[in-house]
Chains A and B, each alone.
Chain A
Amino acid sequence: MYNEKVMEAFKNPQNVGEVENYDGLGKVGNAACGDIMQITIKVENDVITDAKFKTFGCAAAIATSSTATQMVIGMTLDEALKLTNKQVVEYLEGLPPQKLHCSVLAEEAIKAAIEDYRNKKAGIHAKDKEPEYV
């Protein structure tokens, strides 16, 4: 059901863990639905210099988390905000239809991490937000 690229990303995921002293954290999903994605980022001069993930989820969720972190490292925040789930899927050369929501979660986790960073920078203390329901 998964192509080789997805299985490879699942087998050898990149950027697993949490960025030390991260600048932004995005956590989306819901354990009851079987997916939670957490992405942390390091930002220097509006550029994402590091990104890591932790994911509770299926093989596709792990593969898309890994891919999304790989894609955004080196991007400016504005570029990263434009990252779409479609691009993540294209990078992985396709996902089964019932797994597309995993790529949506990856996109949302990146956006949430950037939002968290910008809120912090603007002095808005990130509330202990419940993960979003998707």
Chain B
Amino acid sequence: MKEIYLDHAATTRLDERVLQKMLPYFTETYGNANSQHAFGRAAQKAVDEARDKIATLIGAKPNEVYFTSGGTESDNWALRGTCNSLKNKGRHVIMTKIEHAAMLSTAKELEKDGFEFTFVGVDKEGFVDLEELEKAIRKDTILICCMYANNEIGTIEPIEEVVKIAKDHGVLCFTDAVQAMGAIDIDVKKLNVDMMSFSAHKFNGPKGVGALYIKTGVPVARLISGGHQERTRRGGTTNVPGVVGFAEALKLTKETLGKDVEYVRSLRDRFIQRVTAEIPFARLNGPKDGNKRLPNNADFSFEYIEGESILFSLDLAGIAVSSGSACSSGSLEPSHVLLAIGVPEETAHGSIRFTFGKENTVEEVDYTVEKLKETVQRLRSMSPLYEGKE
């Protein structure tokens, strides 16, 4: 059977060259980077080099890059850490309605601790409403959070403008760049953002490692108490092979970024063009302008059928995708992102995200379109909602 992986926003395959860089740090240079002896110093050297490399690649200073366990921890840290350190200054935070669950769940918990949140809406393509965002700023606002690009519908947010609004009002600004890194050339200095989160496995790096960029002077209380790692701001033994792999993956990604993005975009565009032309009642979610959405992302709602049954039908044909349907997540609510852009609930249930990668081929795209056509037709023939729509 074919094996076609179209879920690159969920995770990506570790690059073989990254693996080779990581391997010695499991068995040869296995010291604890915090130890003072030669084993430890060798590990520390690797960590320092990884940090320097990453800092250079994103335009930061090395001491502004803090290693974490990944995107979720970085998001949690930025939000909770800022709230904890600035609670005497204010208790109001602004974020978009389409942030990742790592942000929204943390916000829910912080609400119980007495913090107030304003969730700013987005338009029907997922772009944050800048006017609403600016109006939401109050005297006690301590942080504005806006993701760089959305993980479900691929919308690339006008992040420069969000940062500018935050700066104009003297408010700190955080952006979750987990999906953007690897698709967009990011320079934190140029962007002038205060904090940014990353995750290595989204760009062919290892899972379980990421970073939070914290601009010098930004007061973020620590989330994980422990030893003196990460300049005492984040406890826990450093994942040495992980950070080495992270740095190598980012380096390789940046080296071929333009070429890879162009290729992945061409696959994605071919897919969108064929699905739109060949499958009736298929609605593209997110920006119509391909340059304003992540180059790997295509998200469709197929009316009159349900997403999980599409997902498993494609799975049976060897194609891996993900769904914004409630049935996939175990809750009854469909994706908060699709609801925020105004997709009706019943249509949101029939949504599938296809995210392409540089390993995919044109043949795979065409095979997927054919299988998708069969699947949609088969499920619609079973659907009581489709009667009379043919």
Given A34-B332, A36-B384, are A58 and B308 neighbors across the interface (CB < 8 Å)?
yes
Query: Is residue A82 within 8 Å, beta carbon to beta carbon, of the partner chain?
Result: no
Residue of A nearest to B304 (CB): A56
The answer to whether B325 has its CB under 8 Å from any CB of chain A is: yes
Within B326-359, which residues are at the interface with A (CB < 8 Å)? 326-327, 330, 332, 334, 345-346, 349
A62 close to B346 (CB less than 8 A) = no
| B312 interface neighbour in A7, A32, A38, A99, Cβ under 8 Å | A7
The reply to whether B381 and A31 form a contact with Cβ atoms under 8 Å apart is: no
Q: How far does the Cβ of B288 sit from chain A's closest Cβ, in whole Å?
A: 26
One digit per residue, 1 when the CB lies within 8 angstroms of any chain A CB and 0 when it does not, for chain B 305-320 equals 1101100100010000
Contact: B327 with A58, CB < 8 Å? yes
In the complex, A61 Cα to B330 Cα: how many Å?
A: 14
**Measured between alpha carbons, how far is A98 from B332 in the docked complex, in Å?**
10
A134 to B170, CA, bound (A): 49
Interface of A: prevailing SS = mixed
Partner of B382, one of A27, A32, A34, A55: A55
Interface residues in B, total, Cβ within 8 A: 22
Nearest A-chain residue to B330, judged by Cβ: A98
A contact residues around B308 at 8 Å (CB)? 58-59
Which residues of chain B are within 8 angstroms of A57 by Cβ–Cβ distance? 306, 309, 327
Interface membership of B385, Cβ < 8 A: yes
How far is the CB of B7 from the nearest CB of chain A, in Å? 16
Q: Does A10 contact B (CB under 8 A)?
A: yes
Give residues 1-40 of A contacting B (CB, 8 Å): 2, 7, 10-11, 13, 16, 27, 31-38
- Please give, as numbers and ranges, the residues of chain B lying within 8 Å of A99 by CB-CB distance: 327
B276, CB-defined interface residue at 8 Å: no
CA distance A53 to B309 in the complex (A): 16
Q: Which residues 353-390 in B have Cβ within 8 Å of A in the complex? A: 381-385, 387
Q: Complex formed: what's the CA distance from A60 to B312 in Å?
A: 10
The interface residues of chain B lying within 8 Å CB-to-CB of A11 are 316
CB pair A54–B383 under 8 Å, yes or no, is yes
How distant is the Cα of A97 from the Cα of B334 in the complex, in angstroms?
A: 18
| B309 contacts across to A, CB distance below 8 A | 10, 57-59, 61-62
Contact A62 B327 (CB under 8 A): no
How distant is the Cα of A62 from the Cα of B311 in the complex, in angstroms?
13
A18 CA to B330 CA in the complex, in Å? 30
Enumerate chain A residues within 8 angstroms of B345, measured Cβ to Cβ.
31-34
Residues in B whose Cβ lies below 8 Å from that of A59: 308-309, 312
Are B384 and A27 neighbours in the complex by a CB distance under 8 Å? yes
Closest approach, in angstroms, between the C-beta of B59 and any C-beta of chain A? 43
List residues 74-115 of chain A with CB under 8 A from any CB of chain B.
98-99
Contact B346 A31 (CB under 8 A): yes
Residues in A with CB closer than 8 Å to B382 are 13, 16, 53-55, 62
Q: B308, B334, B349, B384: which has the most chain A beta carbons within 10 Å?
A: B384
Question: Are A16 and B381 in contact, with the CB atoms below 8 A?
Answer: yes
How far is A93 from B332 in the complex, measured between Cα atoms in Å? 24
Inter-chain contact B326/A10, CB cutoff 8 Å:
no
Task: Give Cα A32 to B346, complex, Å.
Answer: 5
Q: Is the CB of B383 within 8 A of A61?
A: no
- Chain B residue contacts of A7, Cβ below 8 A: 312, 316
Q: Is the pair B385, A56 in contact by a Cβ cutoff of 8 Å? A: yes
Distance of A33 Cα from B332 Cα, bound (Å): 6
Residues on the A chain within 8 Å of B346, using CB: 31-32, 34
> Known contacts being A7-B312, A56-B304, is A34 close to B334, with CB within 8 Å?
yes
Find out whether the CB atom of A56 lies under 8 angstroms from the CB atom of B316: no
Distance in Å from the Cβ of B195 to the closest Cβ of chain A?
Answer: 35
Q: Determine if A36 and B327 form an interchain contact, defined as CB atoms under 8 angstroms apart.
A: no
Complex partner residue of B305 from A2, A38, A56, CB under 8 angstroms? A56
A36-B386 Cα distance, complex, nearest whole Å: 12
Q: Is the CB of A34 within 8 A of B349?
A: yes
User: What's the minimum C-beta distance from A40 to chain B, rounded to whole angstroms?
Assistant: 10
With A7-B316, A58-B309 given, name 12 new contacts (CB 8 A).
A27-B384, A31-B349, A34-B306, A34-B334, A54-B383, A54-B387, A56-B304, A56-B306, A58-B306, A58-B308, A61-B306, A99-B327
Interface residues of A (CB under 8 A from B): 2, 7, 10-11, 13, 16, 27, 31-38, 53-62, 98-99
19 interchain pairs, CB-CB under 8 A: A13-B382, A27-B384, A31-B345, A31-B346, A31-B385, A32-B345, A34-B306, A34-B345, A34-B349, A36-B385, A37-B384, A54-B387, A56-B305, A56-B306, A58-B306, A59-B309, A61-B309, A98-B330, A99-B327
